[in-house]
Structure 1
Amino acid sequence: MITPRISPLNRRRWAWLALCAILAMVAGRQLMQRLWSDPVIVLQMGGPYEYMEAHSTASFSAWGRGSHDVSGGIPKSDARLRFIDPQYGFETPLARFFTVTFIRNLVADIRMSPQIEPLLIDDAMKVVVDLQAQWCAKGWKPIGARRNPTMADSPEWRAYVKQPPLSGRSYWQAGEKYQALLILRRFRDSRYPDQERYLITLAIAEPWLQFEEDERRFEPHHSPPPQPKKGATPCPSQPS
């Protein structure tokens, strides 16, 4: 029996077809991954705008670039924040309010509400507790905790934030690199007049507060937030 021989031209043609098929599969998988996954804004504090643009899956609307030292922008759709750092990285839920400030094209601060609408207390507490757990696991430490202890999903905390204008407020620091402020407060939503809804605010920047000095000059809190029970603190540095 004579085995037909494949000419070099046919070999190259088949190799080209196989390569095209592989590339089509990879492109299709990436496209479907974007469709399946939530849009993400990927940011490095102090990183360039171009890094965010290259790594994010959500489109971004920027203003002031190229003509001002300070510029800013917002995602064009609801998007998660993926905060990139080898040690301190974390990720938020989808956010609708999400702003980024750039100084000379570098990320200077992030302000967002990690939710797409005001939430019921059960859902709001899940977001707050999850963010704090991520920070604890990645080495962030609560700071200023004598006056602003970290929040917990407890009857005491639920009763506290239920009373406007009181709010839960915790500060966190990642080494000498970043600070974060997390706020939980009740929010009157006209769409749900018979429901208690809550708004979460998150701000991240380079360290801007020195709490050892600040806490000495603070007046006593007129309505102090719940203090953690002994042994129930989320991170070792929190005072009992």
Structure 2
Amino acid sequence: MKRRYWVCLMLLTLWAADVLRSWYEREIALEIGGTYEEMLKRSSARFSLPFPGEGTWPGWPKSDAQLRFIDPQYGFVTPKSSDFYVIFNDNIIQSLTIYPQTEPLLLDDALQVVLDLQDQWRRGGWEDKKQKRFPPFADTPQWRAQLRNGPIGGTTYWYAGDKYQALLAMNRSKDSKHPEEERYRIFLNVGKPWTPYP
């Protein structure tokens, strides 16, 4: 009887750990050109229902979730987001927009997010082809001053060969929870190239 009790307790503990892990690691895993159903199978976060027969339509996670962008070469992962939208054409993923944070961040934390994304892209072979006009983010006094001194902030464009284009932007943002602090919001859009590959 005791042995059965301990076996049941161990199984219950393993089940609870698995539930907690899936709750904590909520993610949307997708690939541009993939289907809604493929995305659901790969993802641990729940997602809004489709709009069949509606042509172009948006969808979104039903909880905070990180993005896992699937590509054998160009894949990357973002932090959790509370603002995350996927655009479908019929049932096919066309593009995504994500604010890769759950609240506006302090400047050091926001820079860490954008620099990590750029590092992942560099390692995967993405290129910042427009760096003369839209240089990549960097932790320099010049970049910090530009980000602090106005709402425009900064924008950079990255290309994954001729497969994808990414727009990454960051600017100061008011935060009602922390009205006395400098907070920053990050914006990321990824899709098929919408401007010619340089």
Whether TM exceeds 0.5 here: the answer is yes
CA distance in 2, matches of 1:32, 1:120: 28
Tell me the residue number matched to 1:81. Answer: 67
Tell me the residue number matched to 2:21. Answer: 33
**Does the CA contact (< 8 Å) of 1:61 and 1:73 recur in 2?**
yes
CA distance in 2, matches of 1:62, 1:175: 32
Aligned pairs for 1:62-211 (under 5 A) are 62-63=49-50, 65-210=51-196
Query: For this pair of structures, how many residues does the alignment match?
Result: 187
Tell me the residue number matched to 2:39. Answer: 52
**Does the CA contact (< 8 Å) of 1:42 and 1:52 recur in 2?**
yes
Note the C-alpha offset of 1:166: 2.7
CA distance in 1, matches of 2:197, 2:56: 28
Note the C-alpha offset of 1:197: 0.4
Query: How does the TM-score come out when normalised to structure 1?
Result: 0.74
Which segments of 5 or more consecutive residues in structure 2 lack a partner in the other structure?
1-7
Matched to 2:49, the amino acid is A
What is the SS of the residue equivalent to 1:75? coil
**Does the CA contact (< 8 Å) of 2:22 and 2:44 recur in 1?**
yes
CA distance in 2, matches of 1:55, 1:109: 17
**Does the CA contact (< 8 Å) of 1:95 and 1:114 recur in 2?**
yes
Note the C-alpha offset of 1:33: 3.2
CA distance in 2, matches of 1:44, 1:165: 32
**Does the CA contact (< 8 Å) of 2:151 and 2:173 recur in 1?**
no
Note the C-alpha offset of 1:46: 0.6
Which segments of 5 or more consecutive residues in structure 1 lack a partner in the other structure?
1-20, 213-240
What is the SS of the residue equivalent to 1:134? helix
**Does the CA contact (< 8 Å) of 1:62 and 1:71 recur in 2?**
no
What is the SS of the residue equivalent to 1:132? helix
Query: How does the TM-score come out when normalised to structure 2?
Result: 0.89
Tell me the residue number matched to 2:30. Answer: 43
**Does the CA contact (< 8 Å) of 2:65 and 2:82 recur in 1?**
yes
Per-residue CA shift, 1:115-156, capped at 9, x if unaligned? 000000010000010000000001100021111000101121
What is the SS of the residue equivalent to 1:158? helix
Tell me the residue number matched to 1:5. Answer: none
CA distance in 1, matches of 2:133, 2:32: 27
Note the C-alpha offset of 1:30: 4.4
**Does the CA contact (< 8 Å) of 1:71 and 1:102 recur in 2?**
yes
What is the SS of the residue equivalent to 2:48? strand
* RMSD of aligned residue pairs (Cα, Å): 1.8
